[in-house]
């Protein structure tokens, strides 16, 4: 198929201006306007995704758009921030089509509307390499209430939302060309369509001492958070929440558990919660419709000790997805 006969201005006007929010000024200016609510801090996060590294080039364009926005919204959720808007930098390889772009923009607009995070602007360029997207998302949090990665303290309980490992196992299925065995379509869907846990942001602001999203693997991200906080942790691997589809996978493939806890793309929330706030956090999470599981405790020192179902120490050759 031939490239769409549109210049940059035409591309923006046709596909992106219709989904832009008011702060984007119709995408006719060189900048956008953001007005955080009074008494709030601005929270900013950015993630880049590259075809062949973070998604497959032949993934549905609407799904690529959803994932690009969702991974940023997951970071905002972990900080307890309410979305305000986002910008998009899009590097397009030769051969893109109007049909592809229409599906991408439609998916992006639907995801933005669903999460209350409008498009504010961005940039489009021609790429010599694979399709590359970079989104910068903006959020607001009551002044001084952002939940930092560095806040975990001795005695805190460690929680994780949802289930761990579905997306990593879905990717393993995809790479093996195995399609979706009976009952396991859920795993492929979790890889294609992350679900940012924005519903948890109020519970995190009220009750958590620290938090981060699990994007590069539960084991590695937990180690990052403990290292950043200057503390240690003990984790019960038997308490890590797994979906029924993941359990079925692991029953058939013993290596699946390590893939599940070290693979990326979960986009769940890892939170440290002071003991006195634990029950209130659990109740607030349940009220928000997001399941959370207690998986360990924070202590003095450094490092993370992982315990298996038999109580014995477990180590992992691979800790997390690496971007380099």
Return phi, psi of residue 306, to 5°. Answer: -100, 130
The answer to whether 58 is a known ligand-binding residue is no
The answer to whether 54 is a known ligand-binding residue is yes
The answer to whether 59 is a known ligand-binding residue is no
The answer to whether 322 is a known ligand-binding residue is no
The answer to whether 216 is a known ligand-binding residue is yes
Strands of the chain (E only): list them. 40-50, 82-92, 119-126, 132-142, 157-161, 210-214, 232-236, 268-273, 292-299, 303-307, 313-314
Distance separating alpha carbons of residues 158 and 298, to the nearest angstrom: 7
Query: In this structure, are residues 155 and 232 in contact, taking their beta carbons and an 8 Å threshold?
Result: no
The answer to whether 30 is a known ligand-binding residue is yes
The answer to whether 97 is a known ligand-binding residue is no
The answer to whether 275 is a known ligand-binding residue is no
The answer to whether 321 is a known ligand-binding residue is yes
Query: In this structure, are residues 260 and 170 in contact, taking their beta carbons and an 8 Å threshold?
Result: no
Return phi, psi of residue 178, to 5°. Answer: -90, -5
Distance separating alpha carbons of residues 133 and 91, to the nearest angstrom: 6
The answer to whether 265 is a known ligand-binding residue is yes
The answer to whether 75 is a known ligand-binding residue is yes
The answer to whether 285 is a known ligand-binding residue is no
Question: DSSP 3-state helix, strand, coil percentages of the chain (rounded to 5)?
Answer: 40, 25, 35
Annotated binding residues for substrate, written as ranges, equal 54, 265, 321
Which residues participate in the annotated binding site for ATP? 122-123, 149, 215
Pick out the residues of the known binding site for Mg(2+).
30, 45, 47, 75, 123, 213, 216
* Binding-site residues from annotation: 30, 45, 47, 54, 75, 122-123, 149, 213, 215-216, 265, 321
């Amino acid at each position: 198929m031939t490239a769409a006969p549109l210049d940059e201005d035409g591309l923006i006007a046709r596909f992106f201006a219709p989904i832009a929010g008011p702060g984007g000024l119709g995408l006719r200016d060189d900048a956008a306007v953001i007005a955080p609510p009074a008494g709030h801090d601005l929270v900013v996060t950015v993630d880049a995704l590259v075809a062949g590294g973070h998604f497959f080039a032949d993934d549905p364009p609407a799904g690529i758009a959803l994932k690009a926005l969702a991974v940023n919204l997951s970071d905002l959720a972990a900080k307890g921030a309410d979305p305000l808007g986002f910008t998009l930098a899009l590097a397009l390889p030769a051969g893109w089509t109007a049909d592809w772009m229409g599906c991408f923009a439609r998916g992006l607009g639907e995801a933005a509307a669903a999460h209350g995070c409008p498009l504010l602007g961005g940039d489009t360029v021609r790429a010599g390499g694979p399709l590359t997207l970079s989104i910068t998302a903006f959020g607001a949090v009551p002044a001084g209430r952002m939940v930092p990665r560095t806040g975990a303290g001795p005695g805190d309980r460690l929680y994780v939302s949802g289930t761990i490992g579905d997306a990593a196992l879905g990717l393993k299925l995809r790479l093996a060309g195995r399609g979706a065995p009976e009952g396991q379509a859920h795993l492929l869907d979790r890889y294609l369509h992350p679900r940012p846990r924005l519903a948890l942001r109020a519970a995190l602001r009220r009750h958590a001492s620290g938090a981060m999203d699990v994007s590069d693997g539960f084991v590695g991200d937990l180690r990052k958070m403990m290292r950043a906080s200057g503390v240690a942790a003990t984790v019960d691997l038997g308490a890590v929440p797994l979906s029924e589809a993941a359990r079925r996978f692991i029953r058939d493939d013993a290596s699946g558990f390590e893939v599940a806890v070290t693979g990326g793309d979960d986009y769940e929330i890892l939170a440290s919660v002071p003991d006195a706030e634990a029950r209130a956090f659990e109740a607030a999470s349940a009220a928000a419709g997001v399941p959370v599981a207690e998986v360990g405790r924070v202590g003095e020192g450094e490092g993370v000790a992982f315990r298996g179902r038999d109580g014995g120490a477990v180590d992992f050759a691979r800790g997390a997805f690496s971007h380099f």
